[in-house]
Amino acid sequence: MNVLNSAPKPNDVPLEPGPTDSVTRIEFNPVVDYLAVGSWDNQVRVYEVNATTGQITPKAAVQHEGPALNLSWSKDGTKLLTCSADKTAKILDVATGSSQATQIAAHDGPISCVKWLDMPSGQGQGVCVTAGWDKMVKYWDMRQPNPIATITATERIYALDAVDKLMVFGTADRNVSIVDLNNPGVVKSSKESPLKMQTRTITCFPAKSPAGNGYAIGSVEGRVAIQYAEDKDSGQNFSFRCHRGEPVTVNQMNRTTETAVYSVNDISFNRLHGTFSTAGSDGSLSFWDKDLRTRLKTFVPKDLNNAGDTVNKIPPTPIVATAFSKESNLFAYAFSYDWSRGYTGAVQQNLNKVMIHQVQQEEIKPKQKGK
């Protein structure tokens, strides 16, 4: 499977057969090395990735009637939740090998987010949350046609994530709301995003003593903020710039320069070290350590064989989604056009691949202090 042997580094393997349109979201199963890939071609595909041989086997697929915008695995790894612009969310039982996904949720608009919640429910099947562009957050126990609780947000919901009892969602008006899942029907606190521009992605990170849990938020303006959920930790909040181009002189006369500022499309934390990755529309990837506030590793587009088309001035393909596997030994990232340049940017030179990267420990291991 090492098709990219000729390429110097890294030795990443593409998923075959990949999705036929842009990728929206990818996530590794928390129990086995299954990777789920959602796509604008209305499908969510599940692949088995063998970490030692690199063998990739297609396993299952969920068909929606609109673009599959998001997905989430259950905690025990047996169920896959998917949601779509067709205003539905579905569940697929991967363990039974069933090929039929059942609808579990409905919204009045495209559903942009779905997440399995770590909440006990009466009969053990679990609870999930969906959120969409209809400004609603709805909780479902996946057997009843009615939501068990809802929250009306101020605006369309662009990003949502949860860890433990913390759920965070970001809306189109740049608000970020925090929900305590002990009391899921109400928003515990809501504030303006620490970033000045549109929220693109939110990923929660677990508590790491002595600090509590929190979330990382990425905006369309090449910036990431690390925010802790509790007030006592707020002194450690910070934000940083990333995924920006080199300054380019735009006016020779007064020597003004302009830096291309790209969207931060996805943030993924690994469970092994608690470090995280960011991926941007500039087609680059970075690994970071939030505790020491250092960058561990960067893959510029050239490193990823994603230099774009210099002849026709096609920029490198954005990276739209990332995921760490359960043991953090595999890292998946998806090249896809993200519509940031509109229709005209949708050209055939754009890559449309999900790549599997064998993680080297030094890429994600925090550097020792004082070194």
Partner 1 sequence: MAKKKSKKTQFTLKPWCWYCEREFEDEKVLLQHQKAKHFKCRHCPRKLNTAGGLMVHCQQVHKTEPDKLENTLPGRDGYDVEIFGMEGVPAKDKDEWKAKKEAEFGVNLNQQQNPNKRPKIYHGVISENDLKLALEQHKMLMSGGKLGSLPGMPMGGLPGMPPPSMIPAGPPMFMPPPGMAPPFPPFPGAPMPPFPGAGMPGNLPFPPPPGFRPPFPPMGMPGMPSPIGVPPFGPPGGMMGSPASAIAAPSALGSVVTVMPAQNGVIWPDADASPAEKRAQQPQYRHSSPALSSAPLPFPDQGHQPPAFAQTSGIPSASGAAPSASNLQDKYATTPIPEAPTGVPGPHSTLTSLDGSGVQPGETVKVENDVTASLKRKAEDDIPVA
Q: Within positions 271 to 290, which residues make up the interface with partner 1, using CB under 8 A?
A: 281, 288
| Gap between the Cα atoms of 33 and 53, Å rounded | 12
Of 126 and 330, the one with the shorter C-beta distance to partner 1 is 126
User: CB-side exposure of 38: number of CA atoms within 13 Å?
Assistant: 30
Q: Does 370 bind partner 1 (CB under 8 A)?
A: no
Q: Which span (7-15, 203-211, 267-275, 350-358) binds partner 1, by CB under 8 A?
A: 350-358
Tell me which residue of 99, 100, 65, 101 sits closest to 84, measured CA to CA. Answer: 65
Which of residues 38, 184, 214, 218 is near partner 1 by CB under 8 A? 184
- In the list 50, 55, 57, 294, the residue contacting partner 1 (rule: CB under 8 A) is 294
- Contact status, residue 44 vs residue 58, Cβ threshold 8 Å: no
Does 240 sit near partner 1 (CB under 8 A)? yes
In the complex, least distance from residue 53 CB atom to partner 1, rounded to whole angstroms: 25
User: Does 194 contact partner 1 by CB under 8 A?
Assistant: yes
Binds partner 1 (CB under 8 A): choice among 76, 258, 327, 362: 258
| 212 contacts partner 1 (rule: CB under 8 A) | no
Number of residues that bind partner 1 (CB under 8 A): 109
160 binds partner 1 (CB under 8 A): no
Q: Is 343 in the site for partner 1 (CB under 8 A)?
A: yes
Cα–Cα distance list, 161 to 65, 70, 156, 188, 231 (Å): 24, 11, 15, 15, 19
48 counts as binding partner 1 under rule CB under 8 A: no
Contacts of residue 48, defined as CB under 8 A and 6 or more positions apart, other chains included, come to 32, 33, 34, 35, 56, 57, 58, 59
* 2 touching partner 1, by CB under 8 A: no
Residue 346 in contact with partner 1, rule: CB under 8 A: yes
Tell me how far apart the alpha carbons of residues 194 and 102 are, in angstroms, rounded to a whole number. Answer: 38
Distance CA 102, CA 124 (A): 18
Nearest distance, CB of residue 100 and partner 1, angstroms: 13
Contacts 24+ apart (CB under 8 A), 302-307: 303/9, 303/10, 304/10, 304/12, 304/335, 304/355, 305/4, 305/7, 306/335, 306/351
Query: Quick check: 256 binds partner 1 (CB under 8 A)?
Result: no
- Provide the mask over 72-111, with x wherever binding to partner 1 is found by CB under 8 A and - wherever it is not: -------------xxxx--------------x--x-xxx-
Choose the binding region for partner 1 from 50-58, 237-245, 268-276, 323-331 (rule: CB under 8 A): 237-245
**Length of the chain in residues, anyone?**
371
Gyration radius from the chain CA atoms: 20
Nearest Cα to Cα of residue 160 among 185, 183, 182, 138: 138
Neighbour tally for 253: CB within 10 Å: 5
Site for partner 1 in 115-154 (CB under 8 A): 119-123, 127, 133-134, 136, 139, 141, 144-154
CA distance linking residue 92 with residue 94, whole number of Å: 6
Instruction: Kindly tell me which residue out of 79, 200, 326, 357 binds partner 1, with binding defined by CB under 8 A.
Output: 200
Choose among 120, 162, 127, 131: nearest CA to 141.
127
Q: Which stretch binds partner 1 (CB under 8 A): 46-54, 73-81, 172-180, 208-216?
A: 172-180
Asked if residue 323 binds partner 1 (CB under 8 A), the reply is: no
Q: Which one of 254-262, 302-310, 325-333, 355-363 is the stretch in contact with partner 1 (CB under 8 A)?
A: 254-262
- The answer to whether residues 263 and 243 touch, using CB atoms and an 8 Å cutoff, is yes
- Calpha distance 14→346 (Å, rounded): 21
Binds partner 1 (CB under 8 A): choice among 72, 213, 263, 322: 263
Which one, 200 or 357, has the nearer CB to partner 1? Answer: 200
Work out whether the CA dihedral 101, 106, 110, 116 comes out positive or negative: negative
Any contact of residue 65 with partner 1 (CB under 8 A)? Answer: yes
